[in-house]
Structure formats: structure tokens, C-alpha cells
Amino acid sequence: MNFSDHAPAHFHAWYNEYKIIVNIKDGVVKGEMPGNMFLEVVKAQYMGGYRIKLWFNNQVEKVVDLKASLKGLVFEPLLDLEVFKRFSIKFNTIEWENGADFAPEYLMALPASRE
């Protein structure tokens, strides 16, 4: 609370266009926040080639083609399609056996590919 702020003691929180005010004494909240503030991949399915269908926690579904993203030492093994196919959901995104992964925000920003 700012020294010049008004009582009761409270704090403000912002997330994109959302704002809440929380009363510290009783926890009363004014305003709204989205249920899922962090983007997560909740499901993924291999679609052929370097394409993966992704389901996000914000109800977005899309197919992404990752071939152009497979650059650098950690991603080179994934150019082998047999290795590329072996991914799983770990820490809220797709991850391969060698530890390579992509941030969910990066995956969301990729253009959608044809199914």
C-alpha cells in the first residue's frame, strides 16, 4: 500500500486488460482475472512430417509445422523423424527425449499448418 493510498490496506494486480483489487484484511476481491493466466500445451498429437497438433489451455487447437524451427545443436537430432515423433507433454509444453522443447508462447505464435 502506498503511503498516500486510501484505507483499507489492499493491493492492485494487472494482467493484460484485467485488473483486480484485493483487500488484505478479508481477501475481498473487486474485478476479474482470467482462470488461466499462463499458456500451457495440454495435449499434442503427431500429424506427419514435422507437424504436431496442439491443444492449449485457452481452448485453441492448431497444427504447427516445426521443421523450420529445428535449428541448433539441441534440435538437430529431431531432424530424424523417428526421433521427432517421440515427444511428450512435460512442464506444460512438448518435450523430446533429449530435453529439447519449445515455449508454449512460441508454439502459439507459429502460423497454423494444414491438418
pLDDT of residue 36 exceeding 70: no
| pLDDT for the residue numbered 25 | 80
- Write out the three cell numbers for 95: 518435450
Q: What is the CATH number of domain 41-109?
A: 3.30.2020.10
What is the distance, to the nearest Å, from the Cα of residue 21 to the centroid of all Cα atoms in its chain? Answer: 26
Question: How confident is the prediction for the chain on average, in pLDDT?
Answer: 89
Residue 29's pLDDT is what? Answer: 76
pLDDT number for residue 7: 75
Domain ranges of the chain: 1-34, 41-109
Quick: pLDDT tens for 37-87: 689 999 999 999 999 999 999 899 999 999 999 999 999 999 999 999 999
DSSP E strand boundaries for 1-115: 10-15, 18-23, 29-32, 41-48, 51-56, 61-65, 87-90, 93-96
Q: Where are the alpha helices (DSSP H) in the chain?
A: 81-84, 104-109
CA angle 77/42/99 to nearest 5° reads 25
